[in-house]
């Protein structure tokens, strides 16, 4: 096994260009990892409780989701690839902001080895995102600065996943909740509004959300709003007051207070830090 030793690490993310030249176990230091395969041949085998749980033939331009709760063994040679490791809280935050991607493609966590093929048109963009993440880590960027690119990468890698067909009522409710949040999160953030739309009580809505996502309903809306805010703040041409109005705040001061409360930094300071 040979490793490119140019490993870049920051609190929640590390990226390693890799080259394996013999059968080997892929050791993870973080909870989960994306294995992006550019060129390869052989099989990737996952063992759970010492039993083979999955075996997949590795093909070029495939992405695999690996977990450190299993043994991930490569039987073959991975010529070119990247291993992007991060903590489970990062994936959980991403899925809170992108509920429709839960249980689809790479994020079908019931599968022992979720994987998906990146289309030919998507390979260039995916490689660019990896390069951008490397640049952010080289610059010792704050985690908020590179999380945006990581989330773009997760969404892009999984964009061709087949829609999940729910077979239980909670899954159906999860998709309804995701659709409502996408439609109204900029204009209404009260739990009662969404509960009324769904025809249930606020208490039942919070119970459903807690059972599915281990958080309160308001936290999902908050994360969705903050994610959209960071996208807009990255564009220095958009005035802060305009961003506040676009996100449904009647006054910039309200947006500033909200952002500072949940992010620990003002929108102005966040923009300054990310563009310095």
Choice among 3-17, 26-40, 111-125, 242-256 with the minimum mean pLDDT: 3-17
Choice among 104-113, 164-173, 221-230, 258-267 with the minimum mean pLDDT: 164-173
Question: What is the mean predicted confidence (pLDDT) over 262-271?
Answer: 87
Q: Spell out the residues 6+ positions from residue 34 whose beta carbon is closer than 8 angstroms to its own.
A: 63, 64, 65, 66, 82, 83, 84, 106, 153, 154, 157
Instruction: Determine the topology of domain 2-157 in CATH.
Output: Jelly Rolls (2.60.120)
Q: Spell out the residues 6+ positions from residue 27 whose beta carbon is closer than 8 angstroms to its own.
A: none
For residue 276, the model assigns a pLDDT of: 58
For residue 65, the model assigns a pLDDT of: 93
43, 56 in Cβ contact below 8 A? Answer: yes
Residue 71 has pLDDT above 90, yes or no: yes
For residue 121, the model assigns a pLDDT of: 64
State the Cα–Cα distance between residues 96 and 75, nearest whole angstrom: 35
For residue 193, name the pLDDT band (cuts at 50, 70, 90).
very high
For residue 195, the model assigns a pLDDT of: 92
For residue 163, the model assigns a pLDDT of: 42
Instruction: Determine the topology of domain 169-275 in CATH.
Output: Arc Repressor Mutant, subunit A (1.10.10)
For residue 33, the model assigns a pLDDT of: 92
Residue predicted with more confidence, 40 or 274 = 40
**pTM, two decimal places:** 0.57
Q: pLDDT by residue (tens digit) across 158-189?
A: 875 544 444 345 557 777 888 888 889 888 88
Please provide the average confidence, as pLDDT, over all residues in the chain. Answer: 80
For residue 79, the model assigns a pLDDT of: 65
For residue 244, name the pLDDT band (cuts at 50, 70, 90).
very high
Half-sphere exposure of 14 (CA within 13 A, CB side): 15
For residue 166, the model assigns a pLDDT of: 40
Residue 196 has pLDDT above 90, yes or no: yes
The ranges assigned to domains in the chain are 2-157, 169-275
State the Cα–Cα distance between residues 53 and 179, nearest whole angstrom: 34
Question: What is the mean predicted confidence (pLDDT) over 134-140?
Answer: 74
Task: Give the CA diameter of the chain.
Answer: 60
Question: What is the mean predicted confidence (pLDDT) over 28-32?
Answer: 87
Residue 269 has pLDDT above 80, yes or no: yes
31, 84 in Cβ contact below 8 A? Answer: no
């Amino acid at each position: 096994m040979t490793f490119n030793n140019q490993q870049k690490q920051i609190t929640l993310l590390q990226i390693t260009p890799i080259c394996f030249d013999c059968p080997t176990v892929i050791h993870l230091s973080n909870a989960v990892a994306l294995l992006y395969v550019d060129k390869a041949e052989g099989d990737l085998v996952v063992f759970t409780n010492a039993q083979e749980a999955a075996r997949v033939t590795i093909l070029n331009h495939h992405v695999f989701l690996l977990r450190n709760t299993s043994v991930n063994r490569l039987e073959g040679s991975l010529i070119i690839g990247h291993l992007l490791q991060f903590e489970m809280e990062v994936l959980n935050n991403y899925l809170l902001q992108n509920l429709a991607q839960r249980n689809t493609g790479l994020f079908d966590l019931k599968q022992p080895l979720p994987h998906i093929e990146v289309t030919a048109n998507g390979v260039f963009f995916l490689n660019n995102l990896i390069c951008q993440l490397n640049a952010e880590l080289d610059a010792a960027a704050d985690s908020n600065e590179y999380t945006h690119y990581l989330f773009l990468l997760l969404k892009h890698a999984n964009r061709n996943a087949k829609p999940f067909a729910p077979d239980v009522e909670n899954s159906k409710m999860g998709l309804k909740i995701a659709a409502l949040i996408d439609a109204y999160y900029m204009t209404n953030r009260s739990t009662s509004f969404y509960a009324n739309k769904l025809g249930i009580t606020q208490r039942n809505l919070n119970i459903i959300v807690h059972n599915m996502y281990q958080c309160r309903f308001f936290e999902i809306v908050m994360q969705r709003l903050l994610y959209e805010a960071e996208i807009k703040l990255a564009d220095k041409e958009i005035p802060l007051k305009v961003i506040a109005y676009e996100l449904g705040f009647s006054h910039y001061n309200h947006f500033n207070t909200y952002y500072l409360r949940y992010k620990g930094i003002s929108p102005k300071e966040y923009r300054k830090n990310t563009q310095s």
